[in-house]
């Protein structure tokens, strides 16, 4: 059984830019924490893209081509707030998707971050716990 983590745009910069908002830990640190928490219960696969269509293609493949994926942890980045296309892709696949955010998007000053187009089609939402949000999401899928 596999859990797939998908990161959207700019999340490749984690730990390298804006540490005051996103912390100084890297994606490798996040994956190590998730894998340690999940233990032998699931394999954890990671995919990051800055391109909306690639994220949609990965969701489709997880839902219809990769037989062993049990659920998806998705940080769609800023596409969370803008992408009806990603929302449609989530709705179109028969897998639970947990929406995650590093920051508490509702506490951020830009009001557009208070709206998520993907929340209504996700199984649940975890936001505001730093990189631990990913671990909490993976454990919720288990
Ligand atoms: O809090 C989150 O996880 C977000 O999904 C992060 C997105 C933001 O647009 C959402 O509103 C909330 C931005 C990701 C940018 O990631 C960076 C990481 C390090 C340095 C610069 C950007």
Distance 22 CA to ligand 1 centre (A): 7
Read off the pLDDT band of 67 (50, 70, 90).
confident
Angle between helices 84-92 and 52-64 (to 10 degrees): 10
Distance, in Å, from the CA atom of 86 to the CA atom of 105, rounded to the nearest integer, reads 18
* pLDDT, tens digit (0-9, with 9 covering 90-100), for 118-128: 999 999 999 99
Residue from 48, 74, 77 whose mutation best tests the ligand 1 pocket (most atoms within 8 A of CB): 77
* pLDDT, tens digit (0-9, with 9 covering 90-100), for 17-57: 889 999 999 999 999 999 999 999 999 999 999 999 999 99
Q: Does the pTM of the predicted model rise above 0.75?
A: yes
Distance, in Å, from the CA atom of 70 to the CA atom of 3, rounded to the nearest integer, reads 6
Q: What is the per-residue pLDDT for 62?
A: 98
- Closest Cα to atom 20 of ligand 1: 17
Mean pLDDT of the region 90-118: 98
Read off the pLDDT band of 86 (50, 70, 90).
very high
Report the catalytic residues. Answer: 22, 101
Distance 25 CA to ligand 1 centre (A): 13
* pLDDT, tens digit (0-9, with 9 covering 90-100), for 89-100: 999 999 999 999
b/e map of 41-50 (b: 16 or more CB within 10 Å)? ebebbbbbbe
């Amino acid at each position: 059984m596999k859990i797939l983590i998908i990161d959207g745009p700019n999340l490749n910069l984690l730990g390298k830019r804006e540490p005051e908002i996103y912390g100084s830990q890297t994606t490798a640190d996040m994956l190590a924490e998730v894998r340690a928490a999940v233990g032998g219960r699931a394999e954890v696969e990671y995919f990051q893209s800055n391109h909306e269509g690639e994220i949609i293609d990965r969701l489709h493949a997880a839902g219809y081509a990769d037989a062993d994926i049990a659920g998806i942890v998705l940080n769609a980045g800023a596409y969370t707030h803008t992408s009806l296309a990603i929302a449609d892709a989530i709705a179109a696949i028969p897998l639970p998707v947990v929406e995650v955010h590093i920051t508490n998007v509702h506490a951020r000053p830009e009001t557009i971050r208070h709206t998520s187009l993907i929340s209504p089609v996700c199984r649940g939402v975890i936001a505001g716990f730093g990189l631990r949000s990913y671990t909490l999401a993976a454990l919720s899928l288990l």
